[in-house]
Amino acid sequence: MPVQIATTGDLENAQRIILAEARYSNEHSHPCRNLIANYTLGQGEKTMTIPKVARMTADDLIDGVDMVISKDIGMTTVDLTTAEVGLKVILTDKLTMQANDNVKRVVGRQMGDGMSRKEDRDIIALFAALNGGTDYGADNINFTARNAGACIATAKASRFGSPLFVVHHPNAIFALTSSLAPVGATASVAIPHGFSEDLLRDFFRTNLSQVPFFEDGEIDVVGSTDSGRGVIAHKDALAILTSMEARTEPERDASLRAWELNVVADYGVFEVDDTLGAPLRYEIGNPATNN
């Protein structure tokens, strides 16, 4: 049937545009995935085991005396698995036959944003558990340059590793950037080496002591307070394991005269090393705009 062929052909074109936009949006919409460790499961694999070894201490030696003390590797492991996440969009024949690329791109952007937001919020939910659940900062405290500097110093003293990164709510980052000049802090505007400028430049705000600060509006307030939890961490503190990147599969609904686009991804997010990061609890309420 000519009408069915035309509709099907147009859906193919629509699906290509929508999927391309969804992938682009999923990559660029939120920062957290691109800051933590990324792993991928191969065909036929369902679990990844990540080993961690303890620190060793060298001993003083005496010339001519054999070493008799051997060291324990102290290995522990973390098992990572994945689970499916998805959403469905219904495109009617009338919509797809309009052949409006702008509409298709809007739908693709919505789908990509939805999948990316889910992934981002899953990662953010892990922040609170780092450092044994002990916050840097506290409720009713602003994320000033002095406090940010103290967090960096504490993280380095606690051997979080290098490079570090910070993610927090835009309002917390505003408190930081607005306080930099008064306390005489030095900051740069370049993303340090090792972070993808292409994927993260829209979220990067400043660089303090070679630690980049990124903003993420998906960070929520804690309970009924005005404070929220960001994070300071090494990338190996958290990880995302992907078995299947987001993919789109169409399904015809004849009685509805429409096509369903089912978008599914298979991934999992995990706290890998509790000792390589800490939650940052600071105020994220809207700042005054009438000062």
Whole-angstrom CA distances from 74 to 36, 52, 277, 280 are 24, 8, 20, 29
Number of separate helices (H) and strands (E) present in the chain: 6, 13
Half-sphere exposure at residue 44, Cβ-oriented, CA atoms within 13 angstroms: 0
Half-sphere exposure at residue 2, Cβ-oriented, CA atoms within 13 angstroms: 0
Q: How many CB atoms lie within 10 A of CB 214?
A: 25
User: What 8-state DSSP symbol labels residue 128?
Assistant: G
Whole-angstrom CA distances from 190 to 159, 230, 235 are 24, 21, 19
**DSSP β-bridge partners for residue 136:** 280
- Please answer whether residues 233 and 130 qualify as being in contact, where contact means their C-beta atoms are separated by less than 8 angstroms: yes
Q: Model pTM?
A: 0.81
Burial 35-47 (b: 16+ CB within 10 A, else e): bbbebebeeeeee
pLDDT at 55 over 80: no
Burial zone of 119 (CB within 10 Å; 0-12 exposed, 13-18 middle, 19+ buried): buried
Q: How far apart are CA 278 and CA 151, in angstroms?
A: 9
Of 197-206, 222-231, 277-286, the one with minimum mean pLDDT is 197-206
252: three-class secondary structure by DSSP: strand
pLDDT of residue 129: 95
pLDDT at 144 over 70: yes
Q: Which helix (H) or strand (E) holds 79?
A: strand 76-80
pLDDT of residue 221: 94
pLDDT of residue 101: 65
Mean pLDDT throughout 64-83?
83
Between 20 and 252, residue with greater pLDDT: 252
Phi, psi (degrees; rounded to nearest 5) at 131 = 60, 35
CA dihedral over 151, 153, 159, 160, signed as positive or negative? positive
Q: How far apart are CA 100 and CA 240, in angstroms?
A: 36
pLDDT of residue 278: 97
